């Protein structure tokens, strides 16, 4: 039996380089990704960490980094008791340049049957990518799960 996959596609009115920056720059991710700062060198084999209040919420290993076209890493939720013992899943971002923006495809796969991680990310990715899209298109940083909205710093948006 094949393992389940999660796929989400968004069209963003920003060039792939800006979308890539939005996915890999900690100042960007902190604005729209539940206050999470991403940390990595983004080289194959490097560690990637998602920090909330200086604590590792999620982590993994960079599998592929081809800026600004494709980024792939393993994904673990070690802080969550329901998911910490699951095998790593994989997240892949594919960025395709369009005439006036970028098609961003998120593929999250390699889940164990009955995965709690799959349940969590299925609800989470639309909020995260929606926040990225809104920030890049409007300059407004919105974390759709927090109930707060603030204007992005013009230096990073």
Is residue 75 a contact partner of residue 109, using CB atoms and an 8 Å limit? no
**Rounded-to-10 torsion of CA 126, 129, 133, 136:** 160
What pLDDT is stored for residue 141 in this prediction?
85
The pLDDT tens digits of the residues spanning 2-37 come to 566 999 999 999 999 999 999 999 999 999 998 999
Question: Residues 133-137: what's their mean pLDDT?
Answer: 97
Confidence of residue 72 (pLDDT cuts 50, 70, 90): very high
Query: Is the peptide bond preceding residue 57 cis, with omega within 30 degrees of 0?
Result: no
What pLDDT is stored for residue 2 in this prediction?
59
Residue 145 has which token pair?
């799960």
User: How far is it, in rounded angstroms, from Cα 130 to Cα 99?
Assistant: 21
Is residue 101 a contact partner of residue 19, using CB atoms and an 8 Å limit? no
pTM of the predicted model, to two decimals? Answer: 0.89
Q: Which residues contact 75 (CB under 8 A, 6 or more apart)?
A: 58, 60, 88, 89, 90, 91, 108, 117, 121
CA distances from 34 to 16, 26, 48, 112 (A): 22, 12, 17, 25
């Amino acid at each position: 039996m094949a393992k389940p996959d999660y796929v989400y596609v968004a069209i963003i009115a920003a060039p792939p380089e800006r979308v890539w920056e939005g996915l890999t720059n900690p100042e960007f991710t902190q604005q729209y990704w539940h206050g999470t700062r991403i940390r990595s060198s983004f080289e194959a084999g490097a560690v990637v960490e998602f920090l909330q209040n200086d604590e590792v919420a999620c982590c993994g290993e960079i599998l592929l980094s081809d800026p600004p076209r494709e980024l792939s890493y393993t994904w673990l939720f070690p802080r969550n008791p329901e998911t910490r013992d699951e095998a790593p899943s994989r997240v892949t971002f594919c960025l395709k340049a369009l005439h006036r923006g970028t098609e961003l495809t998120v593929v999250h796969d390699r889940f164990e049957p009955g995965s709690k991680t799959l349940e969590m990310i299925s609800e989470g990715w639309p909020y995260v990518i929606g926040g990225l899209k809104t920030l890049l298109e409007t300059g407004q940083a919105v974390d759709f799960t927090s109930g707060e909205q603030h204007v992005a710093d013009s230096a990073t948006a």
